[in-house]
Amino acid sequence: MYRSTLLILIALLLSLSAGAPIDVFAKSVGATRVCGTSPSDWCPSSPGDPCGRHKNTAACEADPKCYGMPYRGESFVACMFDARGFAVNCPTVGCTSKRPAR
């Protein structure tokens, strides 16, 4: 009982810090990490995109002409997106005027 609880706790802690080793590795080999794979990302829009002025999810979602950029990182469960690209169980990682692909 104690061993299984400890293993679950270790797995949870490792999953919460899973982004750090990838970032460190990417920087150490000179690779460019893809924006949108970390929950803390806020990716830039295409140049000239009017929705690029929004710097957080709340501002983006409040603008009816804008759509959320989908999180592309790992998740325990599949992200559930609404029609405008905002997920109820995953982070939004940017704001764009492009409609999300279905």
Q: What DSSP element (H or E) covers 93?
A: strand 92-96
Specify the length of the chain in residues: 102
pTM of the model: 0.65
Distance, CA of 40 to CA of 38 (rounded, Å): 5
Q: What is the pLDDT along the chain (102 residues), one digit of tens a residue?
A: 656 565 565 655 555 544 444 444 344 445 577 899 999 999 999 999 999 999 999 999 999 999 999 998 888 899 999 999 999 999 999 999 999 876
- Of 27, 19, 95, 90, give the one whose Cα is nearest residue 55: 95
